[in-house]
Amino acid sequence: MHNTLVIARRELTSYFHSPVAHVVLAVFLVVSGWLFFYFSGLLIVGKASMRGFFSLLPLLFMLFVPAITMRLIAEERKSGTFEGLMTLPVAEHEVVIGKFLAALGMMCVGLLCTGVFPISLSLIKAEGTSLDMGPIIGGYVSAVLLLSAFISFGMWASALSKNQIIAFILGLLLCFALWIPDKAVIILPPSVGEAVQYLSANYHFENIARGVVDFRDVLYYLTVTTIGLVLTTRTVAATR
C-alpha cells in the first residue's frame, strides 16, 4: 500500500509540474461550460437542471480520459524510465494502481471545478423553488465511477503500446466499446437487448445520475474497473 501511494503521489505531482494537466483541465472546463450552458439546452429550456449536462458527460470523458492515460505507461516505456521503475522492489499491481489513482485524482480535480455549475443553477432558479440535489449528487457519483472504468481501460491501452498516439486511439476505442452497447438495444430482440444493455457503461451511468444509487450499477463499475486494472497488470507483468 505504501508503494502504491508513493507512486500515485509521484504521478500526480508530475502531472501538475508539466503543462499537460493544466492544458487538459483548462480545455475540459471550457468544453464542460459550453455543454452546460448551451449544448445541454439549459438556456433554451430555461430549467434549472444538470441532467442535460450529465447526459453529455460520458462523451466528454471518452475524449479526455484517453488523453490523460495515453502517457501513463506508453511514454515511460518509450523513454526507458519504465524499465527503471520495474527494477525497483515494487509489484506490478502497485505500479498500476498508483498510476490509476493519480489519473483518477487529476480528473476528479476537473470534476470538482465544475462545482460552479450547480452554484450557478442556484442563482438562476425561480424564486421560491429549490434545486433537486438527488440527481446532482447522483450525477457526480456516477461520473467518478465512469471515470474509474474508462481510466482502467485507458491504462490498458497505454500498456499495449509504446506510442502515445496509438495508445490514445486504442483507449478511445475501448471507452467507446464500453459506452455504445445500450445504443444497439433498439435493433436487438428484447431477450438479447437486456443482456447487451447491462454491458453498457452509459446505461448504468444514467441509472445513478437519476439520483438512485443501485448496488447493481455500482457492482458493474467495480467489476469493469477491476477487469481493466487486471488486464493492465498482466500486460505490465509480461513486459517486465
pLDDT for the residue numbered 2: 75
Neighbouring residues of 145: CB distance < 8 A, sequence distance ≥ 6: 204, 205, 208, 217, 218, 221
Q: Mean pLDDT per segment of 10 residues, for the chain of length 240 residues?
A: 80 78 83 75 57 83 89 73 67 86 90 82 63 79 93 92 88 90 72 76 84 84 94 84
Q: Decide: 123 and 198 in contact? Cβ < 8 Å.
A: no
Return the DSSP state at 174. H
pTM: 0.87
Note the pLDDT of residue 222. 94
Q: How many residues does the chain have?
A: 240
What confidence score (pLDDT) does residue 130 get? 60
Which residue from 240, 62, 63, 77 is spatially nearest to 158, judged by alpha carbons?
A: 77
The whole-number pLDDT of residue 27 equals: 87
Q: What is the pLDDT, as a whole number, of residue 223?
A: 94
Q: Which three cell numbers stand for residue 161?
A: 503500446
